[in-house]
Amino acid sequence: MRSILLLILPFLGFSQVSYTTIQLAKDLIETSGLEVYGENLITHNDSGDKSKLYVFNPKGKLIKSVRFHDIKNKDWEDIAADEDHYYIADTGNNSGNRKNLIIYILTKELIVKGEISISYSAQKDFTKRALNSFDAEALTVVGDSLVLFSKNRLTQQSELYTFPKKAGDYVLSPSAILKVESLITAADYNQTHDLLALTGYNFKGEQFFYTASNFIKNGWNSIILKKYLIPIEKAQIEAVKIQDISNFWLTSEGEKNGFARLIDLKVTQ
């Protein structure tokens, strides 16, 4: 029987994070994923946009967009990458009633190569409901696997699911449960530093950032997260990319008729 560990997190305060923000183009108002694209960054919007990827530089200038006609954007929520591919998570499931959860596999030239279909072993009821356990907005690559983190509105914990990064159909069961006390919106893993980064928010609108050092070394059942409150207003952070052990790129959706932002975050370890 697989063991699942509920992880209790320390709360770390304002003084341990600092950041600067850059306004992004209006085309990126619902930015929901973030990855590196050469010397630039690549993102996408969620369900409010067509099937497009956007390339912009670290100063926030939009360089180009790429439209796809052979895949759909039902609710794109994150993008992950390895040396050869990008993986787009069409896994947004706000009401818990979707049966078509897909991760699209793209080459580094942004050509669609395949699809991964996922479902949850614990889900038997697909009735539409606001508080559900089967939404997921955070995807990253860890070795030969993809790792998906749930946005669990029912418990405000996050289930960690692992599955191969190869085309196929997979029924997922959690490998661990993280007691984050928030709604997880983004993930990134850096192999060089064995470092995991997550973002999330709570129902009060507070924005959080998490790191887990020695993510693989410690194993799924010994994940220790550090939790930071980001003192930022009128923002919902939806994407993260690790620059190095202390510096991170985040993006936030445009809130209350504002612009989306690129956030250069520094964390004091």
Mean pLDDT of the residues in the chain = 93
C-alpha 219/C-alpha 74 separation (Å) is: 33
Q: What is the pLDDT of residues 54-90, one digit of tens each?
A: 999 999 999 999 999 999 999 999 999 999 999 999 9
Is residue 112's pLDDT more than 70?
A: yes
Tell me how far apart the alpha carbons of residues 205 and 103 are, in angstroms, rounded to a whole number: 28
Quickly state the pLDDT bin for 257 (edges 50, 70, 90).
low
pLDDT (tens digit per residue) in 170-226 = 999 999 999 999 999 999 999 999 999 999 999 999 999 999 999 999 888 789 999
- How far is 7 from 226, CA to CA, in rounded Å? 11
End-to-end Cα, the chain, rounded Å: 36
Spatial contact of 145 and 164, defined as CB atoms under 8 Å apart: yes
Sorted by sequence, the CB contacts under 8 Å of residue 233 that are 6+ apart come out as none
User: What percent of the chain lies above the pLDDT cut of 70?
Assistant: 93
Set out the domains of the chain in order of their start, with CATH numbers. Answer: 6-267 (2.115.10)
Beta strand 101-107 with 85-90 is antiparallel
Judge whether residue 7 has pLDDT over 60: no
Which among 211, 94, 82 is positioned nearest to 140, based on CA atoms?
82
Average pLDDT score over residue span 142-160: 97
Give the gyration radius of the chain's Cα atoms.
17
